[in-house]
Amino acid sequence: MKIIISGAQGAMGNTLVRCAEENPQCEIIMGIDNNTDGAFPYEIVKSPDEICPKADVIVDFSNHSLLPSLLKAAVEHKIPMVIGTTGITDFENALIDEAAKSIAILQSGNMSIGIALMKKLAAICSESLPDFDIEIIEAHHHRKVDSPSGTAEMLLSSVKSTRPEADAKYGRHGRDTKRNPNEITIHSLRAGSIVGEHEVLFGGPDEIMVIKHTALSRDIFAQGAMKAAFFVANAPIGRYTIDDIIGGSR
């Protein structure tokens, strides 16, 4: 499988490059990155306009601002895409929907298979424990720029799928912040070099249930992205999520 990696010199891009190079079925034929310095066994270009049309898939871990031009190039050359970039805007999400009418696209804010299962479990618990309060806590390294994490938003969507009337709240501060029974609050922590921790807490009378996922390295995201790349390279035109790799959505 011939791969173009967008964001090839970023933290996730570097991890993905290493994982791809360890897989004999994969060949990185090009990278896209603003930083083109250094010696690489493949070409690094700055613009999606310069991509190689012979690729089987584009894997994107760059900045969401690059998506419009990246989607345009992918559609033009009929190259399927895996999008792992976070911070996607409503406008960019609409562009993904439009591009998915022409190519296969798998997009997820978290490529971990464990997180995909966590979303399913969170929805089951939300439905099974209707009287329990729900709080979502996420923690990441101090360099992460967006808050809350895309994964926390995905977990929120999962629990809200069974509680459509619930109101999302971000953080809690002040002397008059009594909890609304209908609220689901997300708390964000930023410290040190935490790769990623996500927790969904269900609090009921005299008992608490917690679903927690801890990423010990970025390798899990790269491994999930590689599975997604193999999947989408052979998938029919359309838009997919990581759930499709583990047997579909709930």
Which residues are annotated as catalytic? 140, 144
135 with 188: CB under 8 angstroms?
Answer: no
